[in-house]
Structures are given as structure tokens and as C-alpha cells.
Amino acid sequence: MSIKSINGCIGCEECIKSCPTDVIRLNPDSKKAEILYPEDCQICHLCRMYCPVDAITISPEKTIPVIVSWG
């Protein structure tokens, strides 16, 4: 799962800015952070550490995609 959920977001964008792999983006409608590219999460926790309201939950597991012969 890597980054799992964002609950209680205040829309400050700290997590978006500090994610090294562009996993999180601001939802243009809700103006809150949303997990858009979870497969690129490297579980470094910078987003969680920069979040001022402790809204981010992270799991240590990563879903590795299945191997296929094309892509």
C-alpha cells in the first residue's frame, strides 16, 4: 500500500511539495491533498513528517505490480 490515507487535510500542500516522487497532488475541487500515484511511493515518510496536522497514514508494505511481458 505504501502511503495509505490522508485524513484531516487542511490543504497546506506541505506533503505535495516534500514528496520526492510526486505521489500526492492537490485535488482541484476539494483543495485537499489526494494520493494520485501510490505506485511511485518509496515509503520515505517525508510527507508524513512535513504534515503539520498528522493527517497521513503510511503502511510499510508496497504492492509490487505483477510481472508481464508487455507494458
Partner 1 sequence: MKKQNEKQEMSRRKFISLAGGAAASLAAMSAMGMPLDWALNNTGIDVESLDVNKISTDVLVIGSGMAGLFAAVKAHDAGAKVLMVSKGRLGASGQTPFAKGIFAFDPEKEDLSLDEFVVKVSRSALGTNNNAYTKQMAQHSLARVIELKEWGFFDSSLYNKSFSKPIVERNITVQERITITHLIKENDKVVGAAGFSIDEQKVLFYEAKSVILCTGAGGFKPNGFPICDLTHDGTIMAYNIGAKVTGKEWNDGHPGKSENVAACYDGWGDMFEQKPSTTGVEIRHDLGVDMNYVAYNNGSPLKMGPPGSGEQTKVSGGPYTPEEFMRHNDTPPGGKEGGRPPKGGKGGPPKGGKGEGAPPGMGGSIVGGSSAGMSIHKSEGLVPINDQCESTIPGLYAAGDALGSYMAGAIYTQIGSSLAGSAVQGGVAGEAAAKYCKNINSIKISTSKMKEIEEEILAPLKLEAGYSPAWVTQTLQGIMIPNFIIYIKKENLLKAALAYVEELRDHHIPMLRASNMHELRLAHETKNMIISAEMKLKASIMRTESRCSHYRLDYPELDNENWQVWLNIFKGEDDTMQFEKQPFNTWPV
Separation CA 23–CA 15 (nearest Å): 9
40 binds partner 1 (CB under 8 A): yes
Rounded to a whole number of angstroms, the minimum distance from the CB of residue 8 to partner 1 is: 20
18 binds partner 1 (CB under 8 A): yes
Q: Which helix (H) or strand (E) holds 43?
A: none
Question: What is the number of residues in the chain?
Answer: 71
Figure out which of the listed residues 7, 27, 36, 53 binds partner 1, where binding follows CB under 8 A.
36
28 binds partner 1 (CB under 8 A): no
Answer yes or no: are the C-beta atoms of 59 and 45 closer than 8 Å.
Answer: no
Answer yes or no: are the C-beta atoms of 21 and 42 closer than 8 Å.
Answer: yes
Interface with partner 1 (CB under 8 A): 2, 17-22, 36-37, 39-40, 42-46, 49-50, 58, 60-62, 64-65, 67-68, 70-71
